[in-house]
């Protein structure tokens, strides 16, 4: 009998689990097809008992209880946990480690990549189209290096926001490998992968490289701001969420989550 298995069902947006023991012999299931044995199993799952104690709890003849206990023991559903000699006879205390049991007819176990995730809202699914594959996140989250780097020798201070982003994405997708990379560790102009860029062009070289290709651009000098055809947004809390195809390789999608300052991100 296999331990540490669970029966899983989806209830609304949640997953619920029930501990079960896996059995591979139908005789074990047949042994459970009896109301008295089910009551015995309930008792022994709560506490270890002698047959005489079970008989008192069930208000049944002790010999009848012995018979049903023997059937459960032979089926491997309960086990002896201790023995004690009482008035020349050996009394056995029994335990049921599992209350629920599942009969296994097929050993073709498969990994369910979507287990433990919620169903993604349709609008979000459209926005993240291509960023998921069989329930896993397909791409990388690009953070600015915390060390001085780039033309402005700036230190990124918004990397911790990726934790919130990770919690959000983790509701719907599993990670595939380590999904985080620093801007200094790759060249986005030659990348064909999907990327989510976190942070503005001053502290994130990936966005600094793409910025001239954007319809709405970040200014390349102070005061920092987001420039449109008609206005500039220079507030500290101003931010941009955008999605586009990599303009250099035309392969892979890029999502931008960036602000004029870290509070905007």
Domains and CATH numbers, the chain: 2-103 (1.10.10.10), 122-259 (3.30.379)
**Beta-bridge partners for 20:** 5
> 170-229 pLDDT, tens per residue?
888 888 788 999 999 999 999 999 999 999 898 899 999 999 998 888 887 777 778 777
| Stretch 221-248: mean pLDDT | 81
pLDDT at 262: 67
SS percent in the chain: helix, strand, coil, step 5: 25, 30, 45
Q: Considering the chain, what is the average pLDDT of its residues?
A: 87
Angle at 157 between CA 155 and CA 162, to 5 degrees: 125
Select the more confidently predicted residue: 1 or 92: 92
**Beta-bridge partners for 2:** 22
> 67-97 pLDDT, tens per residue?
999 999 999 899 999 998 877 788 899 999 8
CA dist 121 → 21, 170, 216 (Å): 35, 14, 27
**What end-to-end distance do the CA atoms of the chain give, in Å?**
53
**Beta-bridge partners for 80:** 94
Q: What is the DSSP letter of 91?
A: E
Question: Please, which contacts does 37-45 make with residues 24 or more away whose CB atoms are closer than 8 Å?
Answer: 37/68, 37/71, 37/72, 40/65, 40/68, 40/69, 40/72, 40/78, 41/72, 41/77, 41/78, 41/96, 41/99, 42/99, 44/78, 44/94, 44/95, 44/96, 45/96, 45/97, 45/98, 45/99
């Amino acid at each position: 009998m296999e331990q540490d298995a669970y029966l899983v069902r989806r209830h609304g947006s949640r997953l619920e689990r029930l501990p079960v023991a896996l059995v591979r012999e139908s005789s074990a299931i047949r042994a459970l097809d009896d109301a008295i044995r089910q009551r015995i199993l309930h008792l022994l799952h709560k506490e270890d008992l002698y047959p005489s104690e079970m008989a008192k709890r069930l208000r049944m003849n002790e010999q009848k209880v012995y018979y049903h206990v023997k059937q459960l023991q032979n089926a491997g559903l309960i086990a002896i946990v201790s023995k004690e000699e009482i008035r020349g006879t050996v009394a056995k205390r029994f335990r049921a480690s599992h209350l629920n049991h599942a009969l296994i007819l097929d050993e073709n176990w498969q990994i369910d990549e979507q287990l433990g995730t919620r169903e993604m809202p349709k609008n979000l699914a459209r926005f993240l189209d291509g960023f998921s594959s069989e329930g896993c996140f397909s791409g990388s989250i690009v953070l600015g290096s915390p060390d001085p780097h780039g033309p402005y020798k700036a230190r990124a201070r918004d990397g911790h926001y990726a934790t919130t982003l990770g919690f959000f994405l983790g509701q719907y997708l599993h990670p595939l490998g380590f999904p985080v990379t620093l801007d200094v560790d790759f060249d986005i102009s030659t990348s064909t992968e999907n990327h989510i860029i976190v942070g503005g062009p001053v502290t994130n070289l990936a966005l600094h490289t793409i910025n001239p290709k954007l319809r709405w651009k970040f200014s390349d000098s102070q005061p920092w701001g987001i420039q449109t055809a008609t206005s500039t947004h220079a507030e500290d809390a101003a931010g941009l969420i955008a999605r586009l195809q990599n303009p250099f390789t035309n392969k892979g999608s890029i999502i931008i989550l960036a602000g004029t300052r870290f509070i905007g991100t």
